[in-house]
Structure 1
Amino acid sequence: MTGRVGIVGVWHETNTYSARATTLADFEAFELRTGDALEAHNRGIGTVIGGFYDTPDVDLVPVFSAGAWPSGPAEPEAMARILQDVHDELRRAGPLDAVLLNLHGAMVAVGTADVEAAVVATVRDVVGDVPIGAVLDLHANPSPALVENCDVLVSYDTYPHVDMRERGREVGGLVTQLLAGRQLRTSVRKVPLLVCPLAQATESGPMRRVQQAAAARAAAADLARLCVVGGFAYSDVDRAGMSVLAVHDADSAAAADAVLDATVADIAEHAGEFAVARDDVRTAVARAIASTRRPVFLADVADNVGGGSPGDGTALLRELLAVGATGAVVTIADREVARLAERLGEGAGIDTVLGAKTDRMHGEPLRVSGRVERISDGTYRTTGYYMTGQTFSMGITAVLSIAGNTVVVTETAVPPFHAEQLSSVGVDVRAASIVVVKGALAWRGAYEDVAGEIIEVATPGVCPVDVSTLPRLSEPMSV
């Protein structure tokens, strides 16, 4: 073994416009683990930490990890507890030769605008001047303070995020090189461009072209790594926006600067291509009804659960019912209705007010009548691309039949990243006429192969297609 390497994670994508505060209970429900429990939860799994465990020739020490599904800013009590746990568990772990960090890069807490920088500062306070390598989400908003305190900082390359484990493995390898004496550094450039996730797809479009050009420049300059980070526009902080990260040898700073500057210039040249526009609800539903390519997937972009929305938007369901659509599948998070359906039982009639209970940014509550078809605990294990092998829970989940359509009501909002989310409750999307997914792009990793047509919809909500419609107090920085 070449050293004792600690594993720490603090992961949350924070939508500062969301009305749903992130509590300690949200972390407990997703991941709040130490020691052996942390290792058991991630080893062999398609997560960043799972990738850390692919690192050979080091003694990996599971220290602490906290993670929660995207939502609003973390409550100050939760943040204080997490930072204290990072500190205490690192001390309990004993001397470490390096640390591997799983971070998001767009986490915000009440009173702490740059959580990742605070986490790394806490780690440094305990471990001192040892190598630190971190992985960020492609939707990160890394600050110069964060970059300065890490030796190597790498983001996912893909959206949908299919390379989480690979990036963990990569950073593990880079930290091993640091332990062997290689002098690596990370430099950053911030680009004051706020981009809708729809324009951040890495298989095509401007993001793909910018990434390919940047990778070619980095290879020519013999840099260890170059990352184009799309950023998270739904966070009102000055570090929001696109970023470019270069991991390079200490004596290659000038070459890295040239590549960073050229990549920023390339992004600026293509900035107009990152602007997107999509059909409104009425137009999109009419297109879906008229389509002959089934099933049609309607992406409820602004109620993107994976971007921090509540998942209870009613705009598309309301329009589908208004025009008499049948055979549609719609998922809505509504704790009250899920629990009501459980009390009524399978086979019972149900008449209730559904959805839009978090705020009024995602439509109005909708009166519905129908039948309770199935009830489950909402737990499933995914074999799909996102965190492969993990188990997730939607809480009490009711499958309702409403006017010839299937409405899946979950107790807890869970992003539509896994086909098992619906198949586990007996819903076959291949038999549907229309499927509403509450997401922007990441859901495609689960369903694109069965979609006859995809229509992205400019729905109302906290993850709008037009990011300029959100009020901002902070101006994106440029470094």
Structure 2
Amino acid sequence: MTLPRVAVLGLWHETNTYGPNPADLAAFEAFELVSGDDVRRHHAGDRSVISGFLAATELDPVPVHSAGAWPSGPASAETLIALVDRLTGALAAAARPAPFDGVLLNLHGAMVAAGAPDVEALIVRHIRTIVGDVPVAAVLDLHANPSPAFVAACTVVLAYDTYPHVDMWERGREAAALLAEAVNGRALTTTVAKTPLLTCPLSQSTDAEPMRGLLARAKARAEAAGIARISLTPGFAYSDVDRAGISVLVVADAHLAADARRVANDTLADIESHAADFDTRRPDATTAVREALAASAAPQAARPVVLADVADNIGGGSPGDGTALLAELIAQDAPDAVVVIADAEVARRAAELGVGRTISAEIGAKADDRHGTPVALTAEIITVTDGTYTTTGTWMTGQSFSMGTTAVLRSRGLRVVVTERATPPFHREHLTSVGIDPATVPIIVAKGAVAWRSAFPDAARAIEVATPGVCPVDLSTLPRTTTPIRVVA
């Protein structure tokens, strides 16, 4: 029996429209920009959405093209054109031997480029000019901001169920199974409902309320109605677009359209009735460091205490060079702590000087004026590496990443890991690759909101800090030019 031939495509980027660093083509080349069999090789052995697609046994999944970059500011119009040209060019070439029966898409759902506030909808339009009216199944990040136009252009849209994200492969495999059913005649459609409620990532953890309860109740409603799939995306509030907010995605058989709308709207009402539960307040840097020092100073204190630098969340598009916690650890004379700072200039200087030498430098806060001021530091260079590692953790297990030239500087008890590239702290190898065992460190600064927990599941205590930056705890500090929309299914 000939299996349905389906295209495997990806274009993944979480765009912080306030972020100072644009997503240029080099950012995609450094993270992922591959076509053809290179897609399969790039994802071999990992637990990504793409590898979930490629594991489908009900289909003949053809790796066509995949692009991705770490979260950052918006891509330029020129970068978007180049990315679209590569994707559509690869798709058109792959479609020449035989037409595709369907498409599997790995998208983030919150990508923005200059002149294109809804990149995902644009991508699907371009894909359909090549493949025509065939079923399209898309997997989105839990922080997606899916628009009604995008959802209407797809057949199946579902999202990760977890934050931190540990179910990417499973969602890819699930989307492939649903696409196989659609290709074989099952009439599936996706319904979307949206609330303009903007929430901080700290309140979006799926292991805690309110998200844990909202997800459980949504799944119970869907199961009772015979719905194929329901997803909640609490969204990405650091994107100044009208599609931001919390979304409900319901995949159902066409004859259950009325039930799908009812489930979507009941779930929307449930979310809005718990709006107050998403409110978030956290201590400032001075208070948080004082608490961390007290906790780590206790006799036989468990390690590590993690200070989450929320507003400099690299996984949310910040530059990773915020200095508020570094400055405070120095001011309060922390006896032993580790901080990671993205500062390409200092990393390269340290590498040129070499291990054992002393460096005096102004570190951090160079991308913009939102993330503190540079910190003057004189320190010994104790480690220099190329910053590459392969992760065994739960986020994209088996993938290789690069922080670029990386140096560990020591000033009294403080170790500052200076990286050439801002790299989210999603993996324990972030530190172990430079010789630091997190289990032995009293205090670690993680530039993230929630996803860092997958790297440090053994954290003795987490203190989330209201630092300055483009991913603030208090969303009202960001100037919005758009009004998020409410959509009833």
Please indicate the TM-score interval, normalised by the length of the shorter structure. Answer: over 0.9
Q: What corresponds to 2:199 in structure 1?
A: 195
The equivalences for 1:257-276 within 5 A come to 257-276=261-280
Query: Which whole-Å CA distance do the structure 1 matches of 2:156 and 2:163 have between them?
Result: 21
Match of 1:207 among 193, 206, 211: 211
Match of 1:115 among 99, 119, 122: 119
Query: Which whole-Å CA distance do the structure 2 matches of 1:3 and 1:262 have between them?
Result: 36
Q: Deviations over 1:290-335 (max 9, x none)?
A: 1134321000000000000000000001000011112100000000
Contact 2:58 2:177 (C-alpha < 8 Å) held by counterparts? no
Q: What corresponds to 2:183 in structure 1?
A: 179
How far did residue 468 of structure 1 move?
1.7
Q: What corresponds to 1:454 in structure 2?
A: 462
Across the two proteins, how many residue pairs are aligned to each other?
478
Contact 1:43 1:53 (C-alpha < 8 Å) held by counterparts? no
Q: What corresponds to 1:310 in structure 2?
A: 319
Q: Deviations over 1:394-446 (max 9, x none)?
A: 00000110122111000000000000110011011111111000000000011
Match of 2:227 among 223, 234, 250: 223
Match of 1:340 among 331, 349, 354: 349
Contact 1:2 1:179 (C-alpha < 8 Å) held by counterparts? no
Say if 1:43 and 1:5 are closer, same or farther in 2 by CA, change over 3 A: farther
Contact 1:43 1:49 (C-alpha < 8 Å) held by counterparts? no
Q: What TM-score do the two structures reach when normalised by structure 1?
A: 0.99
Q: What corresponds to 1:72 in structure 2?
A: 73
Contact 1:138 1:230 (C-alpha < 8 Å) held by counterparts? yes
- 1:205 counterpart SS class: coil
Residue 367 of structure 2 is aligned to residue 358 of structure 1:
yes
Q: Deviations over 1:40-69 (max 9, x none)?
A: 111331100010011103221111111000
Match of 1:320 among 305, 309, 329: 329
Q: Deviations over 1:72-103 (max 9, x none)?
A: 00011110011111221111002111000000
The equivalences for 1:40-439 within 5 A come to 40-94=41-95, 95-291=99-295, 292=298, 293=301, 294-439=303-448
How far did residue 367 of structure 1 move?
0.3
- 1:320 counterpart SS class: helix
Aligned-partner residue type, residue 393 of structure 2: G
Is the deviation greater in 206-215 or in 57-66?
Answer: 57-66
Aligned-partner residue type, residue 473 of structure 2: V
Query: Which whole-Å CA distance do the structure 2 matches of 1:136 and 1:417 have between them?
Result: 18
Contact 1:321 1:403 (C-alpha < 8 Å) held by counterparts? no
Contact 1:44 1:53 (C-alpha < 8 Å) held by counterparts? no
Query: Which whole-Å CA distance do the structure 1 matches of 2:94 and 2:457 have between them?
Result: 44
- 1:134 counterpart SS class: strand
Aligned-partner residue type, residue 381 of structure 1: T
Q: What corresponds to 2:4 in structure 1?
A: 3
The equivalences for 1:14-29 within 5 A come to 14-29=15-30
Contact 2:194 2:245 (C-alpha < 8 Å) held by counterparts? yes
How far did residue 2 of structure 1 move?
2.2
Deviating beyond 2 angstroms after TM superposition, the runs of 4 or more aligned structure 1 residues are none
Q: What corresponds to 1:475 in structure 2?
A: 483
Contact 1:147 1:186 (C-alpha < 8 Å) held by counterparts? yes
Query: Which whole-Å CA distance do the structure 1 matches of 2:469 and 2:86 have between them?
Result: 34
- 1:448 counterpart SS class: coil
Q: What corresponds to 2:39 in structure 1?
A: 38
Q: What residue ranges of structure 2 are gaps of 5+ in the alignment?
A: none
- 1:447 counterpart SS class: coil
- 2:217 counterpart SS class: helix
Contact 1:314 1:362 (C-alpha < 8 Å) held by counterparts? yes
Query: Which whole-Å CA distance do the structure 1 matches of 2:275 and 2:263 have between them?
Result: 18
Aligned-partner residue type, residue 4 of structure 1: R
Q: Deviations over 1:151-184 (max 9, x none)?
A: 0000000000000000000000000101111000
Query: Which whole-Å CA distance do the structure 1 matches of 2:447 and 2:413 have between them?
Result: 20
Contact 1:8 1:99 (C-alpha < 8 Å) held by counterparts? yes
Query: Which whole-Å CA distance do the structure 2 matches of 1:136 and 1:36 have between them?
Result: 23
Contact 2:311 2:468 (C-alpha < 8 Å) held by counterparts? yes
Q: Deviations over 1:104-152 (max 9, x none)?
A: 0000001110000000000011100001000000000000010000000
How far did residue 475 of structure 1 move?
0.4
Aligned-partner residue type, residue 379 of structure 1: T
Contact 2:107 2:141 (C-alpha < 8 Å) held by counterparts? yes
Query: Which whole-Å CA distance do the structure 2 matches of 1:149 and 1:62 have between them?
Result: 21
Query: Which whole-Å CA distance do the structure 2 matches of 1:57 and 1:193 have between them?
Result: 39
Query: Which whole-Å CA distance do the structure 2 matches of 1:244 and 1:258 have between them?
Result: 11
How far did residue 39 of structure 1 move?
1.0
- 2:451 counterpart SS class: coil
Contact 2:233 2:248 (C-alpha < 8 Å) held by counterparts? yes
Identity %: 57
- 1:86 counterpart SS class: helix
- 2:286 counterpart SS class: helix
Query: Which whole-Å CA distance do the structure 2 matches of 1:170 and 1:191 have between them?
Result: 26
- 2:22 counterpart SS class: coil
Aligned-partner residue type, residue 459 of structure 1: T
Contact 2:28 2:67 (C-alpha < 8 Å) held by counterparts? yes
Q: Deviations over 1:261-301 (max 9, x none)?
A: 11011011100000100001100011011113432100000
Query: Which whole-Å CA distance do the structure 2 matches of 1:59 and 1:412 have between them?
Result: 37
Aligned-partner residue type, residue 314 of structure 2: V
Q: What residue ranges of structure 1 are gaps of 5+ in the alignment?
A: none
Query: Which whole-Å CA distance do the structure 2 matches of 1:435 and 1:79 have between them?
Result: 37
Query: Which whole-Å CA distance do the structure 1 matches of 2:433 and 2:104 have between them?
Result: 34
Q: What TM-score do the two structures reach when normalised by structure 2?
A: 0.97
